[in-house]
Structure 1
Amino acid sequence: MRRATSVLLALGALMTASTLAAPAAGAAPRDGGPAAVPAGWERIDGAELAAMNGEENGAADGERSLAASADPAAEETVLLAVQSVRNGNFVATEKNYPSPNTGALRARSADIGGSWEGFAFEWDEDTQTYALRSLANDRYVAVEKNFTGSSQNLLRARSTGVGGWERFVLYYSEELDRWALQSTLNGLFVAMENGYTGSLQYALRARSAEIGGSWEEFVLYDLES
């Protein structure tokens, strides 16, 4: 298992092992829209997330961990692992799944084992949104709005470029020390399908009209620490 540090707003405030072992239960996610952001949840931009990443890595005077890159945008790109609060597992990219679910995102890994559980959160200043690039297959995560049934709005790392399908807003609750993702394609929050069975068990879908509990809540871990 790769060691990583949880990304927090407060410098030096780390998530405890007891929190990892016992994620809180929550209400089942609700379908529909438009999505509403509960009180206490703050929208986080790229500069804030990159600054947090630099602080966690011990960077001085606001120096960011990727500042040495020749690409200025890389300063607002952060490498993270995503852990579901609902089941305590890390999100992995199923790059070996056959079509149509190739690259599906599932919270199924007990540990951060490698690139399967890694994502680059890339900030876009123009749209004020994030794109998530899987480190497992170097593809961007898209919301499959046109899928039907239980696969509708499935998150898949399958795109070589970034458009409306691949844009997300990131929220943080300092009180809960948890994160949430909202798709700009349909305005809904990403939920982890804990009740699914089969190959899409623990799949991530942009399908909740609100952050209703642990289904929509995640912990982010810095992979560069």
Structure 2
Amino acid sequence: MRRKAAVLLSLCGLLAVSTLGATAASGAPRTDDDAPAPAGWERVDTQLLNELLVDDGAAPLNASADEPEELPWAVQSMNTGLFVASEQRYAEPYTGVLRARSDSVGGGWEQFDIYFDDASETVTLTSRANGLNVATERNFTGASNGVLRARSEGIGSWERFVLYYHDDLQTFAFRSVVNDLFVATEQNNTGSLQNVLRARSDWINGSWEQFYLY
């Protein structure tokens, strides 16, 4: 059963964990986050997040919570119907790359913790498989530019994403802070990078940029 509030409950539980240091490669977060959302989409800010939490019968965000409650969640590509996994057995430089390739949530490879930073109103994904944060690989070249990979110990602009929500579709979209592009499922790729997640779209053009959260 699809649960649109699953990610929101995770955000609520993990709000207290939002002060990790940035990696050296990540730098300071960008500040140009006032761009209008695509039609029908809303940026998930603190106000919207609290509204959705209350609508779901949960308490609003509480930054004074003593201990975060770890609630792993899963990401499903709307385009393929497959769950996103962190490919732990891939060789460098693709170790930990995110790819929509699993029929079900079988374990840590398909599970993530989500962290909401109240100051920047951005989210960070942490892989349950290796405990590392998901980064947008801005320095990769060609068709690999912008791939998402669980590889960072800290949090900076490479590891931050703006979350969008479509109330009618009950789907979510991620925009990478470091390059201002939306994450897409690369269904037309072949081989080991088929259905890889990559921050490369200027807009939420369709199902490639949409995800269900459980």
Into which bin does the TM-score normalised by the smaller protein fall?
Answer: 0.7 to 0.9
Q: Report the alpha carbon displacement of residue 63 of structure 1 after superposing the two structures with TM.
A: 7.1
Retained in 2: the 8 A contact 1:144–1:156?
A: yes
Equivalent-residue separation in structure 2 for 1:205 and 1:172 (angstroms): 19
List aligned pairs for 1:163-202, cutoff 5 A. 163-202=156-195
Q: 2:94 aligns with which of 101, 109, 124?
A: 101
Equivalent-residue separation in structure 2 for 1:98 and 1:37 (angstroms): 37
Q: Which runs of 5+ in 1 are unaligned?
A: 10-33
2:151 corresponds to which residue?
A: 158
Greater Cα offset, 77-86 or 138-147: 77-86
Q: Which runs of 4+ in 1 moved over 6 A?
A: none
2:199 corresponds to which residue?
A: 206
Equivalent-residue separation in structure 2 for 1:51 and 1:79 (angstroms): 22
Residue 70 in structure 1 maps to residue 66 in structure 2: yes
Q: Report the alpha carbon displacement of residue 97 of structure 1 after superposing the two structures with TM.
A: 0.9
1:217 corresponds to which residue?
A: 210
Classify the secondary structure of the residue corresponding to 1:6.
Answer: coil
Q: How many matched pairs?
A: 186
Task: Indicate the RMSD between aligned Cα atoms, in angstroms.
Answer: 2.8
Classify the secondary structure of the residue corresponding to 1:180.
Answer: strand
Q: Which runs of 5+ in 2 are unaligned?
A: 7-32
Retained in 2: the 8 A contact 1:8–1:177?
A: no
List aligned pairs for 1:1-225, cutoff 5 A. 5-8=2-5, 37-45=37-45, 48-49=48-49, 52=52, 59=58, 62=59, 70-71=66-67, 74=68, 79-221=72-214
**CA 1:49–1:7 in structure 2 vs 1: closer, same or farther (change >3 Å)?**
farther
- With structure 1 as the length reference, what TM-score do the two structures score? 0.74
- With structure 2 as the length reference, what TM-score do the two structures score? 0.77
Retained in 1: the 8 A contact 2:2–2:212?
A: no
Retained in 2: the 8 A contact 1:36–1:210?
A: no
CA deviations 1:178-206 (Å, max 9, x no partner) are 11000010000000000111111110000
Identical positions, percent: 49
